[in-house]
Amino acid sequence: MAQATPLPALYGSQASDKRVQAMWDSGFVNRQMLNCAKRAQGRAVHHSLRLHALSLPSRQVISGCIFKPAPIYWLGLTALLLGLVTSNAPAAADPEAFTAKRHWAFEPVKKVEPPKRGLHGSANPIDRFILAKLREQKLTPDVRAANGTLARRVYFDLIGLPPTPEELNGFLNDKSPRAWSNLVERLLASPQYGERWGRHWMDVVRYADTAGDNADFPIPEGHLYRDYIIDSFNADKPYDQFVREQLAGDILATELESTLQRDNASSEDTLKRGRQRYGEQVAATGFLALSRRFGTGPYELWHLTLENTIETVGQAFMGLNLRCARCHDHKYDPLTMQDYYGLYGIFASTQFPWAGSEEIQSKNFNRQKFVPLLLASEAGLKLQAWQERVKSLRAEIEQLEKQKPADKSAVEKHQQKLAALKKELRNLEKPGVPPDLPAAYAVQEGKPIDVQIHLRGEPENRGAVVPRGAPRFLAGDTPLEIPPGESGRLEFARWLTRADNPLTARVMVNRIWQHHFGKGLVATPNNFGLRGDQPTHPELLDYLAAQFVASGWSIKAIHRLILHSKAYQLSSADDAQNHRQDPANRFCWRFDRHRLEAEAIRDAMMFASGDLDLSRPGAHSFPPPEKWTWTQHNPFKERYDTRHRSVYLMTQRFQRHPFLALFDGPDTNNSTEARGTSIVPQQALFALNNPFVDEQTRLLARRVLAARSDEADRLRYAHELTWSRPPTREEVAKCRAWLSRVLELLTHANTPANQREEEAWSSLVRVLLTANEFLYVD
């Protein structure tokens, strides 16, 4: 089939060689191949390869072997294509580069008016966009889900836990027109909301409690960033502020202290709020500080840590894979190496902490790298007091060691006093943070530097110096105005959260949609570039992004808009005709049934059994730093099981918690844009004989037996705790038959009579806890 565009018009007179023209006309050579050939001269192909390909005769003997016809053909093609770049003819503009810059995600967010009609007569703008697309695709929307199904759905969506029987019955019996709205508001105000949605964000930012270097040192202060995330979601912190604090919270904290000093803030209430906000902003930079470490010593393979930082920044906030431009210009998106190393300079100008080091065990190393959570002026006073006390102790110890008491009683008192002083000094000089000086695993400003390009991504092979800045294809030719002596992180964060940035709002509302509907309007949440998926509903995406910014970047406002839509409230029932036309449900004609994530499964089991502790646990019980002896041959590996919610489980980079790994938990080394859903035999075996499941079934059985005395009431209560609904008649009959049969087997097995009832009910509730109706949300 002939191509639409004549080859000579794009690639000059030499391109009219009959062989290339014939291959172009036949479709054997495409535009991408020719573009690669054009770019080969400077970037894509090593110079020596290009020169050899151009100079090699068509039947050159290499190592005693003569190329056969096919290799000769390809070699000739390579020479011809690479020969195009040496032509004196002027090169035409690259049409693919033009297309990339006009890619939908890089265009400004459009102001879109919703269509007039909505799903089932709804006025909600979401329903109007969804109905228009369904009509375009000739699809019919499903009916509304039952109230009980919707209640369970929204509970898991917003707080990651099922409703209690009392909560469920309260909602079902509420006949007021605001029943649904009241339920949504109550869940959004719940402290469990932040734990649920904070866990989603922790996936994106590759949160872990260890560093990832060869020994995978633990990070005792890492939980402060986790708690910051949870608190931010609970407070509905504006998303633009949330982004700025994670990228430059330490700088914002310094500005805050300057403001307090300038305003001469003296009231205890003002200072208290200022201290709290200062600590939050410092802890927020745990996002950067938790970048994965490599090697055995500080700053070994540092370029890989900065690559992890830049890639996570790009995926989390911009929906772009920036690391592709580390070794060469991005192959698809209009991102250059200059853009990449402009960002690299910003983060290379930042001082990162180090959790520990196999090579450096000095007692002062960690102390110099951690950032105090107190106002700098107050932290300075505490640090000064600590230094003075250490100095005083050393002097007193030195003086006592020179003394020689005469009698026995004096010697004993002397030794006791000397031992006490030495113990106090050891405590003050322990590795880590000085006592009474709370600190965060956070970043702070370093020495500003514009870095050289790493040719082919190799740090020892340097090219031209690149000024720090944002990607030019988005920021334009106007550079970031970075004040002297600063890294540029704050300027980059402010640019990223400008209302006219085309990516930031789109990427976040797509994530919110994804966690409500099971998949995003863009199915590749971390990749809005040319190789990512196109949005199924581009107008709806832009509408939500515009509403997000207009609401003050309120995440809860987008929740409300989505949850009050008829689209969210659709049934998950299948329809044969719709399924034939749209089997993946890309256009939202029904609600997608989906399995709970690993954390929600664990939490729901413990919640049903009454074993879940809903309080916040604080720091993990890591050994004290002075006892750390981990190496690359003996890395840190530990598990701290807890009755608290799964968001508080200690997570490592080198190994995953067995439960989380089995049920597709996140990769803590890279940003996880969406959880997978595997179905493997090990999951069924886990449900049958894992000690954790054994314990939860036993606790649930005891709870049911203690709460109800009648068998029918017990069956109802057990189903309401697990499946959020009463059992049907058929299910009651099956359960009774099951209990009867198990009791019979236990009797024949000579099980003590006082244990049979609990054993029988334990076996029954195991079925309820491991059934699809428990594990899936409709």
> In the predicted model, is pLDDT for residue 79 greater than 70?
no
Task: Specify the DSSP element, H or E, that contains 463.
Answer: strand 462-465
pLDDT band at 23 (very low <50, low <70, confident <90, very high): low
> In the predicted model, is pLDDT for residue 83 greater than 90?
no
Return d(Cα 254, Cα 19) in angstroms, integer: 66
Task: Specify the DSSP element, H or E, that contains 452.
Answer: strand 452-454
Q: Which of 19-28, 308-317, 500-509, 769-778 has the lowest mean pLDDT?
A: 19-28
Q: Return the amino acid letter for 50.
A: R
DSSP 330-375: -SSSS--HHHHHHHHHHHHTEEPP-S--SS---TTHHHHH-EESS-
pLDDT band at 61 (very low <50, low <70, confident <90, very high): very low
pLDDT band at 34 (very low <50, low <70, confident <90, very high): low
Q: What is the structure's pLDDT at 57?
A: 45
In degrees, rounded to 5, the angle at the alpha carbon of residue 692 between the alpha carbons of residues 689 and 695 is 90
Residue 258 tokens, joined: 């300057």
Q: What is the structure's pLDDT at 398?
A: 80
Buried residues in 614-629 as b, exposed as e (16+ CB within 10 A): eebeeebebeebeebe
Distance of CA 106 to the CA centre of its chain: 23
The count of residues in the chain is 778
Q: What is the structure's pLDDT at 400?
A: 80
pLDDT tens, 717-733?
999 999 999 999 999 99
Q: What are phi and psi of 437, to 5 degrees?
A: -130, 85
Contact 501, 474 (CB under 8 A): yes
Q: What is the structure's pLDDT at 263?
A: 73
In degrees, rounded to 5, the angle at the alpha carbon of residue 676 between the alpha carbons of residues 191 and 303 is 85
Contacts of 637 (CB under 8 A, 6+ apart): 216, 652, 654, 655
Q: What is the structure's pLDDT at 51?
A: 38
pLDDT tens, 434-481?
666 788 999 999 999 999 999 999 999 999 999 999 999 898 877 899
DSSP state of 647: G
pLDDT tens, 379-398?
666 666 767 778 887 887 88
pLDDT tens, 576-629?
999 999 999 999 999 999 999 999 999 999 999 999 999 999 999 999 877 888
pLDDT band at 31 (very low <50, low <70, confident <90, very high): low
Mean pLDDT of 92-115: 77
Contact 358, 630 (CB under 8 A): yes
pLDDT band at 115 (very low <50, low <70, confident <90, very high): very high
What is the average pLDDT value for the chain, to the nearest integer? 86
Mean pLDDT of 397-425: 78
In degrees, rounded to 5, the angle at the alpha carbon of residue 10 between the alpha carbons of residues 8 and 15 is 40
Helices (H), 584-631: 598-609
Contact 635, 216 (CB under 8 A): yes
DSSP 483-515: PTT--SHHHHHHHHT-TT-TTHHHHHHHHHHHH
pLDDT band at 761 (very low <50, low <70, confident <90, very high): very high
pLDDT band at 257 (very low <50, low <70, confident <90, very high): confident
Q: What is the structure's pLDDT at 268?
A: 75
pLDDT tens, 144-199?
999 999 999 999 999 999 999 999 999 999 999 999 999 999 999 999 999 999 99
DSSP state of 2: -
Q: What is the structure's pLDDT at 332?
A: 92
If we measure between CA atoms, which residue out of 323, 321, 350 comes closest to residue 337? 323
pLDDT tens, 530-563?
999 999 999 999 999 999 999 999 999 999 999 9
More confident residue, 360 or 585: 585
Q: Which position has the token pair 């031992």?
A: 419
Residue 102 tokens, joined: 């006009």
pLDDT tens, 189-232?
999 999 999 999 999 999 999 999 899 999 999 999 999 999 99
Contact 75, 62 (CB under 8 A): no
Q: Taking the CB of residue 91, how many other CB atoms lie within 10 A of it?
A: 12
Reduced to 3 states (helix: H, G, I; strand: E, B; else coil), residue 65 is strand
Q: Taking the CB of residue 334, how many other CB atoms lie within 10 A of it?
A: 23
Contact 499, 549 (CB under 8 A): yes
Mean pLDDT of 126-154: 96
Q: What is the structure's pLDDT at 433?
A: 60
If we measure between CA atoms, which residue out of 685, 565, 694 comes closest to residue 121? 565
Q: Return the amino acid letter for 166.
A: E
Contact 312, 205 (CB under 8 A): yes
